[in-house]
A and B are shown apart, each in its own frame.
Chain A
Amino acid sequence: MLHLQNLTITLGQRLIAQVDTTVHGGEVLTIMGPSGSGKSTLLAAITGTLDPAFAQQGRIILDGQDITALPTEARRIGILFQDDLLFPHLSVGQNLAFGLPKGGNRKERHKTIETALRDVGLQGFANRDPATLSGGQKARVALMRMLLSQPKALLLDEAFSGLDADLREQIRALVFTRARVQNLPVVMVTHDPADAEAAAGPVIHIG
């Protein structure tokens, strides 16, 4: 459960975004608004990457723990951007291994990664160069890399805008299903009403 308690972001005197809401596990909160309305700024506050020019008030509580002051890497909030942002110098398998927490011997880790790839129809892709993958394949690798890090919540920053219509529906369904299965609260920023419709959760308009 992700609780955004009176989360308020200001730039000087200007109010950028203000939310006070709870996102339950398996639920998708959609945040909509025109570009420049502060949607991504809000997500940056939740991940802990807000530019210091902004001021932030309120608290972020994830599964009962106050994570407002924690650094990004300690928050356990996964994020997907419009670009897949796979690390280009690592193979597909190495990208997943980067997300997988420490523990287990090499063989076990290898197996976990193979299973994750098979789950999204990419068996045998571990040694591939990410640059040789199609858009949909990259999106699936990015999703699995994030899920392997065992996040407690999921943020989607225009995550589907880069994909064409067919693929978009397919990846969107995959992400939402995964989030529901793992009972993750999801916050999605989008400007596409179809995304909000598919999410079938509460919608907040800002800006």
Chain B
Amino acid sequence: MTLLAWVPRLTLAAMLLPVAAGLWGVFAPLFGFITLNGASAAPMADVLAWPGLPRAAWLSVVTGVGSTLIALGLVILILSQLHGSRALMWLRRALSPLLSVPHASAAFGLAFMIAPSGWIARAVSPWLTGWDRPPDLLILNDPAGIALTLGLAVKEMPFLLLIALAALAQTDAIRSLAVARSLGHSGAGAWLKVVLPRLYGQIRLPVYVVLAYAMTAVDMALILGPTTPSTLSVQILRWMSDPDLTLRLQGAAGAVIQLALVIAALAAWFLAEKLVGKLGLLWITSGTRSPWLPALRPLAIAAAATSAIAVLGGLASLAVWSFAARWQFPDALPEALTTRTLDRFLPQLGAPLAETALIATTTTLIALILCIGCLEAGYRKRKPLEGRVMWLVYLPLLIPQIAFLPGLQVLLISGGLTMGRWVVILSHLVFVIPYIFLSLSDPWQAWNTRHATVAHALGASPTRVLFAIRLPMLLAPILTAAAVGFAVSVGQYLPTLLAGGGRIATLTTEAVALASGGDRRAIGVYGIALTLAALLPFALALALPRILYANRRGTHP
């Protein structure tokens, strides 16, 4: 068996082994397979006895399901109303770069917008509200988790929207719409009746990923979420990072409960899909032409604009705060701009920036080699990608980080192993590989394989075809995939914290750690640095092929 033939197995192992080991690590203590000195013998009983549990679990479910419903609802509203319009093209262009903005930056930005002393309150004060000091409202970290729900929804909506747009390109939506409209259905009604049912089947897995993520997000919950009690995921993190090592098993038991909650929510969502499908079929076959639906168009435009402004405005406010001199409420802008904050923080940004770049570069390179190896091995065996391969790729994204990473830490501690950079890189690979694979597989398959036939017929070996023809021709999508992988690694909070044993400081961990302090200028600088670290590689990925292939028009789409 050649080396290349082993790459798919190696890739699967890199994605799934840490997940499997982590799950073993959270379940084993429950049955006494793993014990820590001085730790409780019945960690599950301890967690179940914790008085905050019902509320924390409830918050996880409500914020997760709520934000997924809002994000999916917005996507359906926007697409059904605005399909084929210029507004949608504009929105697509505005949202694409936001996809890679790390969750922590987006959460901080949103916090800067909606806080009682945030930009929105400043914009309408005092002329509209009469406020000359920030109102005494608990908007951020509200006990019901509304701010967290909104933050998750605003961050996940662009992801679902762009996935849906990509999936739409593969369905015969335009002709189906034309047929349905010629039968007298309104545009929006036709879209909901003939396009959505097919589209949903294609975006189901990403929706599940969003649901599992939203129920268990830690970084956004730390920044926007409730505190007493917090969501279950944040509580698990507290147990896992407590100086008292014996609480680790409690954290592992909490992870099991968290996993059960996610599985239950996914199952409920699946059943709800069936129900909505049945009801939808009644509606589709009822004969109604839904002439009133297009009236919702302004609502769709408002929703699209609001969600774009929430993230873009948030990032802008991070930037303004990093340069703000004195900035009193309710002034809309600071009195002056200064580089004082930058001068103060830039020296201490160097170390986490270098750590972030080192981890992200290593992870991306490894993942890229594995993914290209997988795709090339599949191509040489002429095996088309099957649905089950996609399930395997999505699996690490469906299992919440907070459900298995504690187990990994428990395993390492009980085995006497130290955590550190290499464990962080391994844990990042679990999430970087799927995104690189998803980003690269379509352009890889779309490549005209007759180029390979011609090159072979000219006497070139498979290896030469790969390196001299295919990879150079696919340079642009490969660089884009690398930028995606880099951004995913940059944004990882929990794996960096848990797999690094709290000793690996990246931009993300440093930024999230600032959340409780409330130093807006520091948050602004770190938030912007984090955003740039994720976005600059995309600029590079766009620019490089244009420079390298400046005189090769045929390589530009």
List A53-96 residues whose CB lies under 8 Å from chain B: 71-79, 81, 83, 85-91
Residues in A neighbouring B448, C-beta threshold 8 A: 83, 85
Chain B residues lying within 8 Å of A78, measured Cβ to Cβ, are 457-458
B455: which A residues are within 8 A, CB to CB? 87, 98
Is B130 an interface residue when CB atoms closer than 8 A count as contact?
no
Cβ of B337 under 8 Å from chain A: no
- A140-157: contact bitstring with B at CB < 8 Å (1 yes, 0 no)? 000001100101000000
Known: A83-B448, A89-B549, A146-B457. 13 other contacts (CB 8 A): A48-B456, A49-B456, A76-B459, A77-B457, A79-B453, A79-B457, A91-B552, A98-B455, A129-B554, A131-B552, A132-B553, A145-B458, A146-B458
Contact call B461/A73, Cβ cutoff below 8 A:
yes
Chain A residues within 8 Å of B555, by CB = 88-89
Q: Which residue of A lies closest to B455 (CB)?
A: A98
| Of the residues B451, B453, B457, contact of A87 by C-beta under 8 Å | B451
Q: A79-B453, A87-B469, A98-B468 are in contact. Are A129 and B552 (CB under 8 A)?
A: yes
* A88-B555, A89-B555, A130-B554 known; A47+B453 contact, CB < 8 A: yes
A contact residues vs B (CB 8 Å cutoff)? 47-49, 51-52, 71-79, 81, 83, 85-91, 98-99, 101, 129-132, 145-146, 149, 151
**List of 5 A-B pairs having minimum Cβ-Cβ separation, nearest first:** A88-B554, A131-B554, A72-B456, A131-B553, A149-B458
> What 0/1 readout, one digit per residue, does chain B (426-468) give for beta carbons within 8 Å of chain A?
0000000000000000000000101101111111111000001
Residues of A within 8 A of B144 (CB): none
Which residues of chain B are near A79, meaning CB under 8 Å?
A: 453-454, 457
A71 touches B552 (CB 8 A): no
Nearest chain-B residue to A77 (Cβ)? B457
Contacts known (A83-B450, A129-B554); A88 close to B473, Cβ less than 8 A: yes
Q: How far is the CA of A130 from the CA of B283 in the complex (A)?
A: 54
Q: Would you call B382 and A73 a contact (CB within 8 A)? A: no
Task: Chain A residues near B552: list those with CB within 8 A.
Answer: 88-91, 129-131
Q: Which of B450, B468, B549 contacts A85 (CB 8 A)?
A: B450
Q: What CA separation (Å) do A151 and B456 show in the bound complex?
A: 12
Determine the chain B residues whose CB is within 8 A of the CB of A72 once the complex forms: 453, 456-457
- Cα–Cα, bound, A167→B555 (Å): 26
Q: Is B85 an interface residue (CB 8 A)?
A: no
On chain B, the residues within 8 Å of A71 by CB distance are: 456, 462
Contacts of B549 in A (CB 8 A): 89
How far apart are the CA atoms of A77 and B551 in the complex, in Å? 31
Q: How far is the CA of A51 from the CA of B379 in the complex (A)?
A: 11
Q: Are B460 and A73 in contact (CB under 8 A)?
A: yes
A52-B382, A88-B473, A89-B552 given; A149·B457 CB < 8 A: yes
**What residues of A have a CB within 8 angstroms of the CB of B4 in the complex?**
none
By beta carbon, the residue of chain B nearest A73 is: B456
Check A47/B457 contact, CB under 8 A, given A88-B554, A89-B549: yes
Contacts of A87 in B (CB 8 A): 451, 455, 469, 473
Q: What is the CA–CA distance of A149 and B464 in the complex, to the nearest angstrom?
A: 15
Q: Complex Cα distance A72/B456, Å? A: 6
Does chain A have a CB within 8 A of B184? no
Whether B460 contacts A98 by the Cβ 8 Å rule is yes
A151 contacts B468, C-beta separation under 8 Å: no
CB-CB < 8 A to B475: which residues of A? Answer: 89
Q: Smallest Cβ distance from A26 to chain B, in angstroms?
A: 20
Complex CA gap A112/B552 in Å reads 23
Residues of A within 8 A of B135 (CB): none
Query: Which chain A residue has the least Cβ–Cβ distance from B464?
Result: A73
* Chain A residues in 8 Å Cβ range of B460: 73, 98
In the complex, what distance in Å separates the CA atom of A34 from the CA atom of B424?
59
| Sample (5) of A-B pairs whose CB atoms are under 8 Å apart | A79-B454, A98-B455, A129-B551, A132-B553, A145-B458
In the assembled complex, B472 has its CB within 8 A of some CB on chain A? yes
A43 to B450, CA, bound (A): 13
Specify which of B450, B457, B460, B462 lies most central, judged by the most chain A CB atoms within 10 Å of its CB. B457
* CA–CA, A77 and B456, complex, Å: 9
Residues on the A chain within 8 Å of B469, using CB? 87, 98
Q: How far, in whole Å, are A112 and B451 apart by their CA atoms in the complex?
A: 23
Q: How far is the CB of B546 from chain A (nearest CB, A)?
A: 13
Cβ contacts B493-530/A at 8 Å (1 or 0 each): 00000000000000000000000000000000000000
Who on chain B is nearest to A86 by CB?
B554
CA–CA, A30 and B457, complex, Å? 20
Give bound CA distance, A75 to B473, whole Å: 25
In the complex, are the beta carbons of B450 and A81 less than 8 A apart? yes
Interface residues of B in 266-281 (CB under 8 A from A): none
Determine if A85 and B457 form an interchain contact, defined as CB atoms under 8 angstroms apart.
no
CB nearest neighbor in B for A154: B457
Give the chain A neighbours of B458 by CB distance below 8 A: 73, 78, 98-99, 145-146, 149
A189 to chain B, nearest CB (A): 14
Chain A residues lying within 8 Å of B453, measured Cβ to Cβ, are 47, 49, 72, 79, 81
Q: Note all chain B residues with C-beta closer than 8 A to A89.
A: 472-473, 475, 549, 552, 554-555
Instruction: Report the nearest A residue to B548, measured CB to CB.
Output: A89
Complex CA gap A47/B459 in Å reads: 11
Q: Which of A71, A72, A78, A132 has the most CB of B within 10 A?
A: A72
CB pair A85–B454 under 8 Å, yes or no, is yes
Of the residues B454, B457, B459, B462, contact of A101 by C-beta under 8 Å:
B459
> How many angstroms between the C-alpha atoms of A100 and B554 in the bound complex?
22
Q: Which residues of A contact B459 (CB under 8 A)?
A: 73-74, 76, 99, 101, 149
CB neighbours (8 Å) of B457 from chain A are 47, 72-73, 75, 77-79, 146, 149, 151
Which residues on the B side are within 8 Å of A151 (C-beta)?
A: 457
Question: Could you tell me the distance in whole angstroms from the C-beta of A146 to the nearest C-beta in chain B?
Answer: 7
In the complex, residue of chain A having the shortest beta-carbon distance to the beta carbon of B454: A85
Q: Nearest chain A CB to B18's CB is how many angstroms away?
A: 34
Query: CB-CB < 8 A to A73: which residues of B?
Result: 456-462
A48 to B459, CA, bound (A): 12
List chain A residues, Cβ under 8 A from B551: 91, 129
Name B206-254 residues within 8 Å CB distance of A: none
Q: Max chain B CB contacts within 10 Å: which of A73, A88, A89, A145?
A: A89
In this complex, what residue of A is CB-closest to B457? A79
Chain B residue at minimal CB-CB distance from A128: B551
In the assembled complex, how far is the CB of residue B446 from the closest CB belonging to chain A, in whole angstroms? 14
| Contact with A129, one of B454, B456, B473, B553 (Cβ below 8 angstroms) | B553
Docked complex Cα distance between A76 and B459 (Å): 7
Q: Which residue of chain B lies nearest to A149 when distances are taken between CB atoms in the complex?
A: B458
- Which residues of chain B have C-beta atoms less than 8 A from A130's C-beta? 552, 554
Minimum C-beta distance from B120 to chain A (A): 49
